[in-house]
Structure 1
């Protein structure tokens, strides 16, 4: 095979690789997960998706403007950044046990780990493509003195479809995240075009510059040791009086004083008395009952968005007006009542 034909094949492979990274991981995440399943990317997810788009665009730049060192350098740099982002994201959840995770899973693997697979695949495919690359002077010969290469039907279709996918991602990012100074969210709600459920938040900036640490917001302060009090730094007041301990006033004997049937249309998995009301749960349902065991309000958990909960096995109070629920997979969620919620919520 002569060098010119090898060059054309090289560009075809490069076009295919750039097109596929935008069409498959980015396109599926946007059209299927986003518009069809209502998944909304977190901050790190957006960063990884942007890195994939940048890699695909750089590959298409090479196809259009020829093989240039600056394009290859940009592609490799963005791949390295994407690997760092995906490793940092996966590292946040690597400690989780079987069946635990965050967000949607594809073939049992959550999307943040698939990002790691995609970026390593970029490294692998680049190696394969360059293994069949022509001699470097063939790139100049094939360009034939022109400033850019002519599109083939395939490369033109790849560029047009990629542009549509990128534009759709820009639209989703605008709806779910907003414009500066609004930033992405660590635990976003479902994607929706209903203004009622669109949240533009600046909370990502809070505490960002409080201290300089590679751990970022996960720079946990030392606890309140006896030899190094840290109450003021932690913003917590500790009560060391044993008479105020939770178990100080517990009676030694328990007696059944009354029995009553609870009218709830689902199997009750947990029952707790919290803040002068009963809190019960079924598999993914939570309800609040008055002292006569009549249901006042409740909600159904969306189990596979945010932390995966399967099923609820316990609910406890948290702070003054919030709750923590835990699933059998040892994942937990903090939640609070929303007085403005409607039936459709």
Structure 2
């Protein structure tokens, strides 16, 4: 039995080795560019495009400040992917993808931590395929890190791998599919810039924590900068203060009076008195006829 299991495991390893070897051959420059263009489409053009065009212009949902920060991370990752398509898999572009993904994961987790506890299925923010928009970044950025790792692992084609350490600039020709993805991505970025101008305004104006519906009558505010006047906290403004303890010198917003003579029961009216009573003409029983 053990002999049979051992040989079955060897067969599985041989199959896996063959699959991985096939991936090595698959990631030539042409296929690598196709996969990279598709990744840009799935990271930038489609999710940011749906949030921007459908949820923004069609539904009228206005992004909050943290929504914009999540989108910015996707734009950074997508633009780095476009640069890889044009100039090759250079180390600086790989670093830009990974740093952008790290930034995006942090911002998404920060955003979700503020909102998940308030969202009990009543529509706090729009949803795409059942998941609220502010949670999608967790999946998108995680996929970016995994996909970039796989592409680095199997991109052993000589032309592709030499770009990592290349000191000069190599301008690569773009396929029709890559041109389409780049054009669509640039359109989405421009459309987001227009939407940001409508909803958030120009500096020093900024986005809102609870934004208005997208319209040309949106009011601009710079109130978000007041957050820098407070100590930094990972839970934002949703801070539960420490309880009041008599005699402890701690400054809290809710003020308490410790004077016992000013208690709540100083001027309480006299208790009500019973004016009349009579016995019930039936036996009292509780639930299910039990006394």
Whether 2:229 is the aligned partner of 1:209: answer: yes
Match of 1:80 among 85, 89, 102: 102
1:167 maps to which of 170, 187, 190: 190
State whether structure 2 residue 242 is matched by structure 1 residue 242: no
Which of 195, 209, 215 is the aligned partner of 1:192? 215
Superposed CA deviations along residues 217-251 of structure 1, whole A, max 9, x for unmatched, are 44554343212154xx3344435633479x95698
**Match of residue 300 from structure 1:** none
The equivalent residue for 1:10 is: 32
- Of 47, 50, 54, the residue aligned with 1:28 is 50
Residue among 247, 251, 254 paired with 1:227: 247
The 1:172/1:13 distance shift into structure 2, 3 A limit, reads: same
Q: Specify whether residues 97 and 184 from structure 1 end up closer, same or farther in structure 2 by C-alpha distance, changes over 3 A only.
A: closer
* Structure 1 residue 111, shift from structure 2 partner: 1.1
Matches of 2:269 and 2:37 in 1, distance apart?
73
User: Structure 1 residues 248, 156: CA separation in 2 closer, same or farther (over 3 Å shift)?
Assistant: farther
1:22–1:251 Cα change, 3 Å: farther
Deviation at residue 136 of structure 1 after TM alignment: 5.2
Aligned residues: 245
SS at match of 2:28: helix
- Return closer, same or farther for 1:234/1:4 CA change in 2, 3 Å cut-off: closer
Would the aligned equivalents of 1:18 and 1:60 in 2 still touch at CA under 8 Å?
yes
* Matches of 1:137 and 1:25, distance apart in 2: 31
Is 1:104 aligned to residue 126 of structure 2?
A: yes
CA distance in 1, matches of 2:128, 2:270: 49
Q: Is 47-56 or 5-14 further displaced after alignment? A: 5-14
Q: CA deviation at 1:77?
A: 0.5
Measure the CA separation in 2 of the matches of 1:135 and 1:249: 89
Q: Aligned in 2, Cα 1:252/1:133: closer, same or farther, shift over 3 Å?
A: farther
Q: CA RMSD in A?
A: 3.0
After superposition, the Cα gap between the structure-2 partners of 1:55 and 1:252, relative to the gap in structure 1 and judged at 3 Å, is: farther
The 10-residue stretch of structure 1 (89-98 or 29-38) with the greater mean CA deviation from structure 2: 89-98
Measure, in 2, the Cα distance between the counterparts of 1:160 and 1:244. 73
Q: Is the 8 A contact 1:26 1:52 kept in 2?
A: yes
Q: For residues 251 and 199 of structure 1, what CA distance do their matches in structure 2 show? A: 54
Instruction: Please identify which structure carries the higher strand content.
Output: 1
Partner of 2:171: 148
Match of 1:115 in 2: 137
In proportion to residue count, which structure has more helix?
2
Superposed CA deviations along residues 15-50 of structure 1, whole A, max 9, x for unmatched, are: 110122122110000000000000111111100001
Q: 1:215 to 1:138 in 2, by over 3 A?
A: closer
Q: Is the 8 A contact 2:111 2:134 kept in 1?
A: yes
Relative distance call for 1:250 and 1:165 in structure 2 (3 A) is: farther
TM-score, length of structure 2 as denominator length: 0.74
The offset of 1:70, in angstroms, is: 0.3
When residues 221 and 151 of structure 1 are mapped into structure 2, their CA distance, relative to the original with a 3 A threshold, is same
Q: CA deviation at 1:112?
A: 1.2
